[in-house]
Structure formats: C-alpha cells, structure tokens
Amino acid sequence: MMFHGRGVWRRIANIGSWHVTEMCSSQRRSAIGVELKRKPTSASVRNRRISPVAAYSGDRLLSEPTAGTQLCRREPLFMPPLQPLDPAKARPKCIGRGLIALVLPATSRKQNALKKHGFWAIVRSTHEAHHRPRQSFGGRMNHTPPEPADLVATARGLGPLIRDSRDESERERRLPASVLSAMQKARLFRMYVPVEYGGLETDPITSMQAIEAVAEADAATAWNLMIGATYGIWAAFLPEAGAREIYGGTDAVVAGGLRPSGIAHATAGGYLVSGRWAFASGIDHCAWWNGGCMVYEKGAPRPTETGTPQTVLVFFPATDGERIDTWDTGGLRGTGSHDYAVRDLFVPSQRVLAFDNVPRVPGLLYRLPCQALLDNAMAAIPLGIARTAINSLIELAATKRPGRSDQPLAERLTIQAEVGRAEALYRSGRAFLYDSVAESWADVQAGREIGVTQLAMLRLARTHAVQAAVQAIDLMYTAAGGSSVYTHNLLERCFRDAHTVTQHVSMNPANYQASGRVLLGLGPDRPLYRL
C-alpha cells in the first residue's frame, strides 16, 4: 500500500503475480484511479522500491510510471467497501504509453451506484516487456539518445562527405565505406531499433527528416539509410534471443525482401528455408539478411486461423546466403539492390517472426503499422531529391543564358512560373505527408486507435508527396533544357533517381484509388497495410 498525501493507494486484490490497487480520495470518499505493481516474491524484498506500470482514471494518466516508488504499511484514512475482482471478466483496453492491458470496472459500491464507468482496475499488461524497466543492454550502448533536432542536424552534416562520395557509390553500386562508417557512428541506422537493444527508437517525424536531409545530398545513400534504419523495427517483433543476436551490435544492419518468395518447411526447432528474393538494398554492407517465406508443413501451406497461408520473415547471417549480381539500373545505382538466395538453410525459431505478430516491446513507435513506418520514410526520399532539383535549377538559372539571349534563364517568365509551381508542389506534398504522420503519431501517443480513415490518409499522403515531388523534379529537368542531359549536371541524376523510386509498389499512383474508396464510404477493398 502507498500513501499519497490526500489520496491513498489501497491494495484490493492479488491476481497471479500482480497487485491490483485502487486509489481513493479521503475527502471525496470515492476511488479515483488504479495502480498496478509486481507482487514481492518474499518477505525480504517486500519493502524494496518497485516500479509501477501506470495509474489511470478512464483514459487519463494520473501518474507517470517512475522507478523508485516506496511501499509503506500506512493504512488509508478511508477504505470504501469493495467487491471481489473476477479476472474472467477482464477485457483488453488501450491505456496509453504503448500499453494494452486487461482491465476490469472499478469495484467500490459507491462508484457502481453512481454508474461511473470511466474507472478501471488494471489486471495485467499483455506485454511482458511492460513489466520491466526499459534500458539498453550493455554499458557501451546505454547512453542518452540525441535530441531530435541534433539527429537531423547530424544527418545534414554528413552532406559534404556524401556528395564527395556519390560518384563512387554510383560507379561501384554500393554504399562507400567512409559513408557507411560515418552513418554508423552517428547511429542513424539505430533510429527504429528499440531502446532495449541499444537503439534510439526515434519518433517517426524525426527519422523521416533525417532521411530527407540525407536524400538532399544523394538519393541512393538515403535509400540505403531508409532500408537499414526501418528494418530495425523487426527487433520489436522477434523473439528476445533473436533480437539480441541480430540487433545487439552497434553496427548491425539488416537487408532483405519482405515479399514471401521463399518457402520455410517447419521442422524441429525452426525451419528449413529455400528461396530467392529481389531488391535487397544495401546487401553488400549488411551482416544479416532476411526474407519473406510461406510456411509449409507436411508438404502443404500451413493455414492461419483465417484460412490464409501463414507467412513469416526469417533472418540469417549474410555468410549463409548467396548474393546474385543483378542491380544494373539507371537510377539509385548506389543502393546495390541485388538478388540473393538460400537453399535448405536451417533457421532457428528465435530468428523467425510471423507477419501477424504483435510487438513484444512496449514502445509507442511499434503501435504504428510496420508498413506505414517503412513507406513514410521512403516517401521522404523524393522530397529530398525535389529540394535539390529546385535548388540546382535556381543556381543554373542565375548564370545560364539561352542561345541568342543576353538575359539569364532566371529572367524568363516561363522559368519563373515553373520554379513557382515546383516549389508549391514540393511544399504542399511535404506538408500533407508530415501532417498526416503527425496526426497518427499524436493518436498513438494519446492511446487512441488509428482508424481506417486515418490509415487511408497516411497512404494517400505518402503517394501524393511522391507524385508531387516527381512532378517538381520533372519541371526543373525540363526547364534546364539541354544542360540537364549531362551526367555532370545534378538534375540528370535527380531525374533518374526519382523515377526509379516511383517504380516501388508502395509509391504506385494506384494508391489514390484505395484511399479514395475509403473516403467515399465504401470501405477498403484490400488491406491498407499488410504489415
């Protein structure tokens, strides 16, 4: 029991390994909240400091979960009559801070008489990770994460190095070692990794801004960062041992393909995996690869509860796979997005996650759809390219004089109009994307579920941002005239890279239809996000 000035915590039930407590007001004589804490296992530890999960009244947070709450034996001034708890009546409820709990209506007779349905007793959290302090493992990674503004500034500060290396990246079709080392030192690949494994668990807006800043210097480098960083989310879904094995190192980066192109035959302790996957961006600098697979059992696809074939994502060391040189493209050459394959490779269960898994760690970041996190970060790249294209044209227009003209390109009315249109396209697309992400992030932080309409808006915003950015780039490429066809002109690379991005399935204009259908009240005809 704990005494809090005018309010009193009173233990009202023991359920399993948990104390359920109700906060009562000595003046109002009614329960005003609840608290949950782990039951001491022996008399010798009963008076130690124990960290509660949270205290809530309805959906309002009453006290933040903090370490160092002292238990005491002081009896409350007033103890309202209580009814016994029935765990069988508990129902799932979102209680904020990334917590999903099993809850019961509060139990005082006075509340029941007043029909105050907003009070809840928390029986237990459904994630075991909510019951322990969140901290990085390993002293070398347990340090304060950078501030959001500092992280974006650090990413932007890598611009000179990235620009100096982009020709090498395009020629070698891979991320230069100097750039890779600098991004690892800046911990940019750790933005989506849970704090439990030394990650930054950065909010989605900050991580998108960091990726966009890198894209202004080079799109291929930003694509490598986007894939390597967003694939850190899988640490929140993998079994504990697998997550630590794969993401425990500060330089751990994962590449692979999510499409279930492989087959995983269930066997004792894991799966025998065979398959070939495409578009493994950054595969040459990644120590771990993953691949989507359809699970087979006894020679047939294993069905899920809904009857559809079960699909999983398997992880294995790069040394266990075969890299197949296929990435000979016009744009994003520096991503090195080659094919890869394995045959009859045993993958233990600790390195496998089902695509319908719920996150095992409590971070708010992992309550957003995984595919939304990936696609939103991807949409930031064309925005960075568009910013560079507009700036490049402005710089060119100040000095270039078209044939038979004494005036610079900037003096032409048509060029002025095109630059204005391009800037409007870029800014409007960017604003829509970031506003949509900010709205969904605010819902998650407030403990609200993201509805179908909001999911449709996320999908619409990312599609529109990409299409608007590409239109702006095309305007600048055309406005530059013959200058833009030369490889030494940055507009030429912007054009190639941007149009390669649009070929990704997540950037397809068909997404307009999927979102429009929801806005018309017809409901989605396909999953808005499969992950």
Nearest to 500 by CA among 253, 289, 334: 334
Confidence of residue 147 (pLDDT cuts 50, 70, 90): confident
> Is the pLDDT higher at 346 or at 450?
346
CA distance 201 to 444: 15
Evaluate if residue 470 carries a pLDDT over 60.
yes
Is 359 part of a structural domain of the chain? Answer: no
Once rounded to an integer, what is the mean pLDDT over residues 504-521? Answer: 89
Across the chain, mean pLDDT equals 80
Here the tokens at position 334 are 């520096």
Is 524 part of a structural domain of the chain? Answer: no
Q: What is the pLDDT of residue 138?
A: 41
C-beta separation of 356 from 308 below 8 A = no
> Is the pLDDT higher at 155 or at 52?
155
Is 323 part of a structural domain of the chain? Answer: yes
Question: Quick one: 90 and 143 in the same domain?
Answer: no
Question: Quick one: 33 and 166 in the same domain?
Answer: no
CATH number of the domain that residue 294 is part of: 2.40.110.10
Q: What is the pLDDT of residue 530?
A: 66
Q: Facing residues of 291 across strands?
A: 257, 314
Question: Quick one: 395 and 449 in the same domain?
Answer: yes
Once rounded to an integer, what is the mean pLDDT over residues 280-290? Answer: 97
Question: Quick one: 341 and 405 in the same domain?
Answer: no
Q: What is the pLDDT of residue 340?
A: 98
Once rounded to an integer, what is the mean pLDDT over residues 373-392? Answer: 97
Counting residues of the chain whose pLDDT is more than 70, the rounded percentage is 73
How many residues does the structure list for the chain?
A: 531
C-beta separation of 199 from 193 below 8 A = yes
Here the tokens at position 59 are 């959906």
The per-residue b/e assignment along 180-194, b for 16 or more CB within 10 angstroms, e otherwise, is bebbbebbbbbbbbb
CA distance 512 to 452: 15
**Residue 41 phi, psi (nearest 5):** -90, -15
Q: What is the pLDDT of residue 143?
A: 53
**Chosen domain end from 99, 131, 163:** 131
Taking each helix axis as running N to C, give the angle between helix 219-230 and helix 204-217, from 0 to 180 degrees, rounded to the nearest 10. 150
Question: Quick one: 115 and 189 in the same domain?
Answer: no
CA distance 408 to 421: 19
Question: Quick one: 95 and 163 in the same domain?
Answer: no
CA distance 299 to 138: 43
Domain count within the chain = 3
Here the tokens at position 284 are 């040459």
Q: What is the pLDDT of residue 103?
A: 54
Confidence of residue 508 (pLDDT cuts 50, 70, 90): confident
Q: What is the pLDDT of residue 402?
A: 84
Question: Quick one: 83 and 185 in the same domain?
Answer: no
Q: What is the pLDDT of residue 105?
A: 52
Confidence of residue 295 (pLDDT cuts 50, 70, 90): very high
Question: Tokens 């700036």 label which residue?
Answer: 391
Question: Quick one: 127 and 150 in the same domain?
Answer: no
CA distance 365 to 354: 19
CA distance 219 to 331: 9
> Is the pLDDT higher at 516 or at 19?
516
CA distance 471 to 489: 19
CB-side neighbour CA atoms (13 Å) of 411: 8
DSSP 240-293: HHHHHHHH-STT--EEEEEEEEEEEEEETTEEEEEEEEEEETTGGG-SEEEEEE
**Chosen domain end from 87, 102, 131:** 131
Is 171 part of a structural domain of the chain? Answer: yes
Q: What is the pLDDT of residue 403?
A: 78
Measure CA 182 to chain center.
Answer: 22
C-beta separation of 215 from 384 below 8 A = yes
CA distance 266 to 317: 19
Please give the DSSP secondary-structure letter assigned to residue 303: B
Confidence of residue 529 (pLDDT cuts 50, 70, 90): confident
CA distance 122 to 99: 11
Question: Tokens 């309002």 label which residue?
Answer: 60
Helix (H) or strand (E) holding 345: strand 338-348
pTM of the complete model: 0.75
Q: What is the pLDDT of residue 66?
A: 38
Name the least confident of 248-252, 414-418, 494-498.
248-252
Pairing between β-strand 338-348 and β-strand 254-267 as defined by DSSP bridges: unpaired
> Is the pLDDT higher at 514 or at 172?
172
**Chosen domain end from 131, 163, 189:** 131
Residue 156 burial (CB count, 10 A): 15
Is 530 part of a structural domain of the chain? Answer: no
CA distance 456 to 517: 9
Cβ-proximal residues to 436 (8 Å cutoff; 6+ apart), any chain: 457, 458, 460, 461, 462
Here the tokens at position 267 are 């066997």
List, edge to edge, every strand of the sheet that includes 120-125: 91-94, 100-105, 120-125
Nearest to 382 by CA among 454, 460, 458, 474: 474
CATH number of the domain that residue 467 is part of: 1.20.140.10
Question: Quick one: 124 and 143 in the same domain?
Answer: no
Question: Quick one: 419 and 314 in the same domain?
Answer: no
> Is the pLDDT higher at 73 or at 407?
407
Evaluate if residue 100 carries a pLDDT over 80.
no
Once rounded to an integer, what is the mean pLDDT over residues 407-435? Answer: 96
Please give the DSSP secondary-structure letter assigned to residue 7: E
pLDDT in tens, 29-85: 333 334 444 433 333 333 333 333 333 333 333 333 333 333 333 333 333 444 445
Tell me the residue range of the domain where 54 lies. 2-131
The per-residue b/e assignment along 160-171, b for 16 or more CB within 10 angstroms, e otherwise, is ebbeebbeebbe
Nearest to 531 by CA among 234, 159, 254, 140: 234
> Is the pLDDT higher at 100 or at 293?
293
Residue 15 burial (CB count, 10 A): 18
Nearest to 400 by CA among 409, 413, 388, 411: 409
Is 501 part of a structural domain of the chain? Answer: yes
pLDDT in tens, 158-196: 999 999 999 999 999 999 999 999 999 999 999 999 999
Is 281 part of a structural domain of the chain? Answer: yes
> Is the pLDDT higher at 25 or at 413?
413
Is 236 part of a structural domain of the chain? Answer: yes
Q: What is the pLDDT of residue 511?
A: 86
Q: What is the pLDDT of residue 146?
A: 84
Evaluate if residue 204 carries a pLDDT over 70.
yes
C-beta separation of 208 from 250 below 8 A = no
Question: Quick one: 295 and 412 in the same domain?
Answer: no
Question: Quick one: 346 and 372 in the same domain?
Answer: no
Q: What are the angstrom distances between the C-alpha of 387 and each of 97, 210, 514? A: 35, 14, 28
Evaluate if residue 121 carries a pLDDT over 50.
no
Counting residues of the chain whose pLDDT is more than 90, the rounded percentage is 64
